Structure 1
Amino acid sequence: MSRTALSFLPTLALSQLASRVLLMLAALVVIAGCGTKAPEYDPTANWNAERLFQDGKTEMNAANWRVAKERFAAVEARFPFGVYAQQAQINLAYCQWKDKEPELALGTLNRFQQQYPGNPSMDYVLYLKGLINFTPPSAVFSGLTRQNPGERDVRALRQSFAAFTELVQQFPESRYTPDARKRLNWLVNTMAENELAVARFYYDRYAYVAAINRAQSVITDYQGVPAAESALYIMMMSYEKLGMTELRNDAERVLLQNFPKTKLISEGFPNKYSAWNPLRLF
């Protein structure tokens, strides 16, 4: 082999090595490009607060909750000190509630109350809090099973009662107050029914002292409610099971005095559950 050919070998090897390095770099660039997602285009990027808010209202009126939530959240995030930010937060809570996110809605309203305690829409905020707890998701199938509303989670009922009570006391002239008063009457009866359901639960399991205590709370805490009739009957029967004849007779006397047409003494309790409710099997 000639000296010229020998001198060409290192040059050829370097050229091949350089080509391989370039190919590897190109492959890395392609791989990196595949792993990086292009940023999504935001058509509202240059919108002002008013346009965002009005578009959110349009979507809210059309029940397009997802887009409405995005618009109101954008108003609050981009223009936190603007004139639209506070109302956008209230509207966001409403959309969250309608979009089956009650816990998020309550969290948004609680945050609003902390940030803007003097806001002129506070009566509506309290009304909305009452509504969200008034109809929790657990009540969806109550019409089918004919479940007594008092057998629902009493925590939500009490929170609804607290919000409506605050509304009535602080804003007696609010346009939301008349409806809140009606709902308060329903809540009082329903919470009494809840206490009655617990009392009957204890009675059915022979825990007569506990049954008497819970039935007594219906009489003392919720005076004048229809559930008082059954509560007095549970007290009467529990005292009878315990062999406390005098107290049993006192409970019967009060029962007949307040509910002279009661059929509980002669017929007892009817079946608690409808044929559709699986709890009737237990």
Structure 2
Amino acid sequence: MNKILPRILAASIAAALIAGCSSTPQEQDETRGWSAEKIYSEAKAEQSSKNYENSNKLLEKLEARYPYGRYAQQAILETAYNHYKDQEPLLALSAIDRFIKQYPAHPSMDYALYLRGLVFFNESQGFMSFLAKQDMSERDPKAARDSFDSFKQLVTRFPESRYAGDAQVRMGYLIGALSNYELHVARYYYKRGAYLAAANRGKYLLEVYGNTKQVEPAMGMMVLAYDKLGMNELRDDTKRVLLKNYPQTTVLDKNFLDDRAWWAPW
């Protein structure tokens, strides 16, 4: 009997401890009972304080509790903006694309396109670092092109948008960067003896970026490449057009292929 009592006592104590643990109040969700407007307001406050992760947690609750209201729609864009500011471009683009797909006629569609352009624009900065000592022919201009396309959609569909002006400025920068990229790649091919590839790259630049400062050096590159290929008729035709449009050109000088002589700022 004496041996049984300690066991009973130990069991009783263990049960009491378990019961005590189970009766510990669970952490309360302070947003319980909040309206959609209240959650959205708090999420914006966290966003203003640059607490993007906390802001997104609130926005997730907003979408889960009030999935069909106007605040839930706006929450998707705010989530995208938070990811953009928090340097999470893939998550930002995912949220933007979800918004564009679900709400194609939304009044904030211009902002969605603008934000999409900004995300890609930031991603393209590495590509546009032309002074970096890298082989530009191996760099991918896709982000720059996607950024340009998003801004172009914005200014085409919403020319009166408050974001259209900045989008146009960025488009000008992007088109200059992309045309410089094509020129750099053409030079890269030429210096490695791939003259046909160099000429074709110059021709592509003329067709796609015909209103940029890079047209003149691109035509010079084509003249030099056609000459190396023995394509005298194309060489002479291109040279004739070049001299007609740029009578003071220096792109046919022997120093044209020097490291900086080909450079065409935008």
Q: TM-score range by the shorter chain?
A: 0.7 to 0.9
1:212 maps onto 2:182 in alignment? no
Give the counterpart of 2:36 among 39, 49, 60: 49
1:90 maps onto 2:116 in alignment? no
Query: How high is the TM-score relative to the length of structure 1?
Result: 0.77
TM-superposition CA deviations, 1:188-235 (whole Å, max 9, x none): 222222222222222122111111111101111221211112211211
1:49–1:71 distance in 2 versus 1, CA, 3 Å: same
1:104–1:26 distance in 2 versus 1, CA, 3 Å: same
Which residue does the alignment assign to 1:104?
91
Gaps of at least 5 residues in structure 2 are: 262-266
Which secondary structure does the structure 2 equivalent of 1:46 belong to? coil
Larger deviation: 221-230 or 44-53? 44-53
Write the distance in 1 (CA, Å) between the matches of 2:28 and 2:130.
45
1:80–1:154 distance in 2 versus 1, CA, 3 Å: same
1:185 maps onto 2:172 in alignment? yes
Amino acid at match of 1:221: V
Kept in 1: contact 2:76–2:95 (CA 8 A):
yes
1:150–1:257 distance in 2 versus 1, CA, 3 Å: farther
Which residue does the alignment assign to 1:201?
188
Kept in 1: contact 2:127–2:140 (CA 8 A):
no
CA RMSD, 1 decimal? 3.3
Structure 1 position 152, deviation (Å): 5.5
Kept in 2: contact 1:149–1:190 (CA 8 A):
no
After superposing on structure 2, the runs of 4+ consecutive aligned residues of structure 1 that deviate more than 4 Å are: 38-41, 146-152
Query: How high is the TM-score relative to the length of structure 2?
Result: 0.81
1:242 maps onto 2:229 in alignment? yes
Write the distance in 2 (CA, Å) between the matches of 1:53 and 1:268.
58
Structure 1 position 264, deviation (Å): 2.5
Write the distance in 2 (CA, Å) between the matches of 1:86 and 1:159.
24
1:241–1:179 distance in 2 versus 1, CA, 3 Å: same
Structure of higher CA gyration radius: 1
Which residue does the alignment assign to 1:222?
209
Kept in 1: contact 2:123–2:143 (CA 8 A):
yes
Amino acid at match of 1:101: E
Structure 1 position 147, deviation (Å): 8.3
Write the distance in 2 (CA, Å) between the matches of 1:260 and 1:148.
32
Which residue does the alignment assign to 2:145?
158
Gaps of at least 5 residues in structure 1 are: 1-10, 274-282
Give the counterpart of 1:268 among 229, 237, 256: 256
Write the distance in 2 (CA, Å) between the matches of 1:42 and 1:61.
22
1:113 maps onto 2:100 in alignment? yes
Kept in 2: contact 1:56–1:68 (CA 8 A):
yes
Structure 1 position 187, deviation (Å): 2.4
Write the distance in 1 (CA, Å) between the matches of 2:136 and 2:191.
20
Amino acid at match of 1:19: R
1:242–1:143 distance in 2 versus 1, CA, 3 Å: closer
Structure 1 position 142, deviation (Å): 3.1
Structure 1 position 245, deviation (Å): 2.8
Write the distance in 2 (CA, Å) between the matches of 1:137 and 1:174.
24
Equivalent pairs, count: 253
Amino acid at match of 2:224: M
Which secondary structure does the structure 1 equivalent of 2:70 belong to? coil
Give the counterpart of 2:126 among 135, 139, 143: 139
Write the distance in 2 (CA, Å) between the matches of 1:81 and 1:50.
13
1:195–1:120 distance in 2 versus 1, CA, 3 Å: same
Write the distance in 1 (CA, Å) between the matches of 2:48 and 2:153.
28
Amino acid at match of 2:30: P
Which residue does the alignment assign to 2:61?
74
1:202–1:40 distance in 2 versus 1, CA, 3 Å: farther
Write the distance in 2 (CA, Å) between the matches of 1:196 and 1:39.
64
Write the distance in 2 (CA, Å) between the matches of 1:227 and 1:252.
16
Give the counterpart of 1:172 among 153, 159, 173: 159
